[in-house]
Chains A and B, each alone.
Chain A
Amino acid sequence: MLDLYLPIIVVIGIAFAFAIGSVVFSRLVGVKRYSELKMSPYECGVPPIGNANERFSVKFYLVAVAFIVFDVEVAFLYPWAIMFKQLGWYGAITMGIFIFVLVIGFIYDWKKGALEWE
């Protein structure tokens, strides 16, 4: 039973070894020359402004949640669209129910004002 999983375990092991190994290896072997520019964040030439722990408006979260819901919906809709002919009315009704449930959520979101920015 367990030997079926052996290749997976080997792959996981290799992945870990590679990830850790490359970091450790470069640290051991690499030549380090520090300069002021290198020590600055991101090395991209723009000095940081303000605190990194900035608080986002809750609106972003709402949009993100709404996005995830409709994103997942597409994941379901796509296979159905491909198999549309074969599934026939059964598929159509099932997806209809599915979308209907989502629409209820959508109406709810809308009415609650989750889609309005101001």
Chain B
Amino acid sequence: MENLVQEAIQNVNLHAVMPSLILSVAGMALLLVAVFSPRGKTAHIAWLSIASLIVAGIVTIMGWNDTQYGFAGSVQLDNFAAFFSMICIIAAGLAILMSDEYLKRENFPVGEYYPLILITTAGAMWMVSGTDLITIFLGLEVLSVSLYILAGFFRDQVRCNEAGLKYFFLGAFSTGFLLYGMALLYGVSGTTKVYDIAAYIQANPDTTTNVMFVAGGLLMLTGFFFKIAAAPFHMWTPDVYQGAPTPITAFMSAGPKAAAFAALIRVTFICLEGMQDHLTTVFWVLAVLTMTVGNLIALNQKDLKRMLAYSSIAHAGYAMVGLVAWNEIGSAGILFYMLVYTFMNMGAFAILILIGRSGEENLTLDGVTGLGYKKPMLGIAFSIFLFALMGLPPTAGFTGKFYIFAGAINSGYIWLAVLGVLNSAVSLYYYLRIMIFMYFKEPQEDYAWVKIYPATAVSIVISVIGVLYLGIVPGSIMQLARMAGF
């Protein structure tokens, strides 16, 4: 017994979970702060959340190139995890920056919002640093449950309730798939640690043809595909993205999606390496399907949030091209792309927050008619994000896509790259449509209700800088992504 305790103490390595620990402690503390604050006062909670995110970010950066293993090998804070953690932290930070005035406008300034974002981020970090299926599952659940609440946060808006409920039901369903798959993998290999599973397969190569193993792997992947909204598991995305509070939509499409990608990469590249031949085919088909479905349906959308939801499906498809490549450039490409996507997508959503009226009924194509003349700075910023989403130089969207497609071509998937490029061409049309409404049509309204909230403006400025910096001098960050890639 003494030995067990000794071992347990030795295995605990708080450094390996330090960033997420900071966030969860801050989350709990802020929950108490929130409940003791008078109703309607949330600004101080927002700023404290930002402060805790900054601290967590600094701790994450300090741990760069210093891999920490903890809890008997179930947590591994390596460069890969650190990079994805930073993406989640940035996404959470931007989401919080754009939230406070938004919550006031939507008449629902409730302080629990921020702690929930922090706890979601902590869950995302466990997911990205987990090397044990249980840790990954734990992180996924913490992330999902908090997001279910956040997605349905405005409890007096029917659309928001619908979003929360849909997300909850489908999320719970997909979690079932994930868990079942994990259980089957455990049943085959007798362990839940990803490296041990890999070692088991190394020792017993015929496992890869074992029905239970294959079924387990596929079921687990299904769970992840749901989280990254890959077609045909994307059905929940448009409704949830449209109904959820806009900052949460922005956050969901960047942070948690990146985390799901991280876990997916770690599990597939390590555990399921033996199934590479078959899985690349699966990824190939799903990547093409995802970007095509996303782009084609987006063509016909009038509601901007819904359009961006479909565009986010398409972008998940582009990122999956990196999975098909199944090499270092591929995974580094996903890392870089998710970072780029965080900036450009969250920036676009931040603009929507500023344009929207209470209730956000006006966030349609017609609702931005002539916006570029009445609010020139907003128009320019929105155009930059749209050009980035299209993938045009000199924005980051270009460098990101370049990285991804270069990985695919390098692995010999020329056709995949061709289809990806064709898809970008299709996507031009609906992004351009927003710009046509914004600039080519005479303004119908004076947009007097558009107030430039300072914190939201800061998040837009940060995103613009991010998009341009990663587009013009991407060298240093690409180097980091390369170091973090598998």
Binding site for B on A (CB under 8 A): 1-2, 83, 86-88, 90-91, 101, 104, 107-108, 111-112
Contact = CB atoms under 8 A, between A and B. Distances in A.
Contact of A108 (B8, B9, B31, B210): B31
B113 to A, nearest CB: 14
Contact of B32 (A1, A87, A104): A104
Interface string B4-40: 0100110000000000000000001001100110000
Nearest to A88: B5
For chain B, the bracket of interface size reads: 10 to 19
Interface string B87-109: 00000000000000000000000
B1 A108 contact: no
**Lowest 8 CB-CB distances: which A-B pairs, in order?**
A86-B1, A111-B35, A104-B28, A90-B5, A108-B35, A108-B31, A90-B9, A112-B35
B5 A87 contact: yes
Nearest to A111: B35
B212 interface: yes
B361 interface: no
B277 interface: no
B156 interface: no
A108 B35 CA distance: 6
A86 B5 contact: yes
Interface in B350-374: none
A17 to B, nearest CB: 25
A98 to B, nearest CB: 13
Contacts, number: 27
B394 to A, nearest CB: 48
Contacts of A101: 28
A111 B31 CA distance: 11
A111 B32 CA distance: 9
Contact of A107 (B1, B2, B32, B188): B32
A83 B2 CA distance: 11
6 contacts: A1-B210, A87-B5, A90-B8, A90-B9, A104-B28, A107-B32
A81 to B, nearest CB: 15
Contacts of A88: 5
Contacts of A112: 35
Contacts of B2: 86
A65 to B, nearest CB: 13
A111 B5 CA distance: 37
Contacts of B5: 86-88, 90-91
A1 B35 contact: no
A55 B185 CA distance: 43
Contacts of B212: 1-2
B35 A107 contact: yes
Contacts of A91: 5
Nearest to B2: A86
A20 B293 CA distance: 46
Given A87-B5, A88-B5, A90-B9, 17 more contacts: A1-B210, A2-B212, A83-B1, A86-B1, A86-B2, A86-B5, A87-B1, A90-B8, A91-B5, A104-B28, A104-B32, A107-B32, A108-B31, A108-B32, A108-B35, A111-B35, A111-B36
Contacts of A104: 28, 31-32
A2 B213 CA distance: 12
Contacts of B188: 1
B24 to A, nearest CB: 9
A86 B8 CA distance: 13
A59 B379 CA distance: 48
Contacts of A2: 212
